Amino acid sequence: MPVRRCSLLLVVALVAFSTPTGVSAQTVNGSIIGVVKDTSGAVVPDVAVTLRNIAKDEMVGTTVTDADGNYAFRNLAPATYEVQATKDGFSPITVPDAEVTLGQQLRVDLSLKAGGVTESVEVIGGSSVLGTTATQEHGIAPETLNQLPLLFNTGPRAAATFALLMPGVSTGAGNNAFDARVNGGMQSGDEASVDGVSMQQGFMSQGGMVSILQDFPMSPDMVSQIKVLTSGYAPEYGSSTGGQIMAVTKSGGSRFHGAAFESNQNSSRNAVQWGKEKTQLKKDNNGANIGGPIPLPGFSNEKWKSFFYFDYERYRQKGGASQNTLSIPSLLERQGDFRDWRDASGNLIPIYDPRTLRPDGNGGYTKDQFMGCDGKTPNVICQDRISQLVQPWLAALPQPTSAGALNNFLAPPIPDSILADSDYYMWRLDVQGGSNHVFGSFWHQTAPPKFYSQLPQPIANESYSDPQNSWVNRLNYDKILSSILVNTCPPGT
C-alpha cells in the first residue's frame, strides 16, 4: 500500500511539472505561424517553408503548408529568423527579419507571386506580431543588447538596465534602474524571471530589479534577450504589483564564436575643480565568452545536436566616490597627553583617574584629575599607567591626517558595493533532437570576504562583508506534441 501511494504521488508531481499546455502558456521559447496565399488572396497548400536562424547561421527546419495554407514553427529560441517559402510555379519569397521574442507568437503571412524560380521576392519589415492576448509587452532584441553601450556603476554591467528603454517604465526622479516602476506600480513591485523560472528569493520574497539587477546581475554577454510585460499579462505572472521582467540566457550555435571585452574607469583621467583633490576611484569590468557545438563523440550526430556556451566576467573596484571624516586618538593622546581635549570654547575638558574614586561624604563620589608624573600637568597620564595590552591596538591605528582631537582623520575612499572583487561564471548546455529540446543554464558568483577600513574593525564605520557564493540554476525541457500543443517543464533553483 505505501508503494502505491508513493507511486501515485510521483505521478501527480510529474503531471504538475510537465502538463502539456497550449503554446500561449508560459515558456521562454516562441513560435512563428502564418498563412501562405497568392496575389488573388487564395490560400496555397503544399508550400515548402524553411526557417533559418540568422545569428547562428543555421537551418532550423522545414515544413509544408496544409490544405488551408497554414504553417507553424514551434518551440523557437528567441532570435531573429529568416522565413522562406517556395513552390513550383511561384517566385520564392523571403522574410529576412522575423524577430521572435521571449514567449512570443509571431505571425508572418506570405503572399506568393506567380513566376519562375529564377525570380525571388524579399519582404523587408513584413513580419507582424499576432495580438492573441491583451498583454502589453516590449522586448530588447539580441542585436540591441550587443550594440548599445552599458555603463557599470557599483557592480558589473547588468542587462536588466535596458528595461528603462521600455514604454511604461520610469525611475521616479532619478535614473537608477534599481528604482524602476512599471506602469505606475510600486518600486520593487515587479517580478523577474530567468529561463522561465521566477527570481524571487529570501524570506522577504524579493524579486524583480532587486534580484536581476543587484543580487544576481546578468550582463549582455550572459543573456540573449530582455522583455518586459507591462500590463494585461496571464495569471501565471501573478506575483507582482507592477510588471514582469523576463530574460533568457545565451546559447551556443553550430559554429564556434567567442568574444572578449574590457571596461575601465579611472579617476586619474577625470577633470577636477580648482583647489580640489581627486578622489581615488578605479573600476574594472572585463571578461570573455565562447560558444559552439560540443565536439565530442555521442553529443552530436544526425539525430541529436548539442551546443555549449560559457561566459566568465570579473569586477574589481578600488576606492569610492566619497570619503568619511573620523575621529581617532591623536599622536599626543597615544602617549597619554590629553591636553588637546577641549570644548568649543577652548576650555580643557578634564579626564579623571579611576583609581582615585572615593566617597565625597555627601552621599556621592569624587575623583582626581590626571595631573601627569610631576603632579602639575593636567590631563596627562604617566607612561607607567598605560596598559601594555593597548599598545598593539594603538600601533594598528593610521596616522591622523589633521591636528586636533576630533575629526582628525580623512579615511581613504572605499568601494561602496559588496560586489567589488567579484567573479561571475555562466554556462549553458543545449541538446536538440527532433521535437525535443533540453537545456540547462548555470550562473555562479563568488567574492572573498572584505573589510576595507584602515581602522581596527571594532571602531570602524565600515562593516565586514561575508564571502559571496551565489547560484542561479535552470533546467528546461520542451517537447512539441502537435502543431498546437507544446509540453514544457522549467524547474530551477
- Measure the CA–CA gap between 170 and 183, rounded to whole angstroms: 8
Environment class of residue 490 by beta-carbon count within 10 Å: exposed (0-12), middle (13-18) or buried (19+)?
buried
- Strand 110-114 vs strand 30-38: parallel, antiparallel, or unpaired? parallel
For the record, the C-alpha cell of 302 comes out as 544526425
Identify the pLDDT of residue 356.
Answer: 92
Domain with CATH 2.60.40.1120 in the chain: 27-132
Among 4, 5, 16, 23, smallest CA distance to 481 is for 23
Which CATH number is associated with domain 27-132?
2.60.40.1120
Neighbouring C-beta atoms of residue 39, cutoff 10 Å:
10
Helices (H), 299-411: 331-334, 391-395
β-bridge partners, 31? 105
Identify the pLDDT of residue 117.
Answer: 55
Per the CB < 8 A criterion, the answer to whether 202 and 470 are in contact is no
- Cα angle, residue 229 at apex, residues 183 and 129 outer, rounded to 5°: 120
Identify the pLDDT of residue 238.
Answer: 63
Question: If you search the block for the grid coordinates 556556451, which residue do you land on?
Answer: 309
* Residue type for position 491: P
Per the CB < 8 A criterion, the answer to whether 144 and 120 are in contact is no
Identify the pLDDT of residue 258.
Answer: 93
Count CA atoms within 13 Å of residue 84 on its CB side. 18
Distance (Å) of CA 446 to CA 290, 373, 469: 20, 56, 5
395 secondary structure, DSSP code:
H
- Measure the CA–CA gap between 179 and 188, rounded to whole angstroms: 7
Helices (H), 250-378: 331-334
10-residue mean pLDDT series, the chain (493 residues): 37 40 54 90 92 82 91 86 90 88 84 72 54 61 73 77 78 73 72 80 61 81 82 66 81 88 84 76 90 81 85 88 82 92 91 92 92 92 90 88 89 76 92 83 89 74 79 86 76 78
Identify the pLDDT of residue 442.
Answer: 94
- Whole-structure pTM value: 0.72
* Residue type for position 166: M
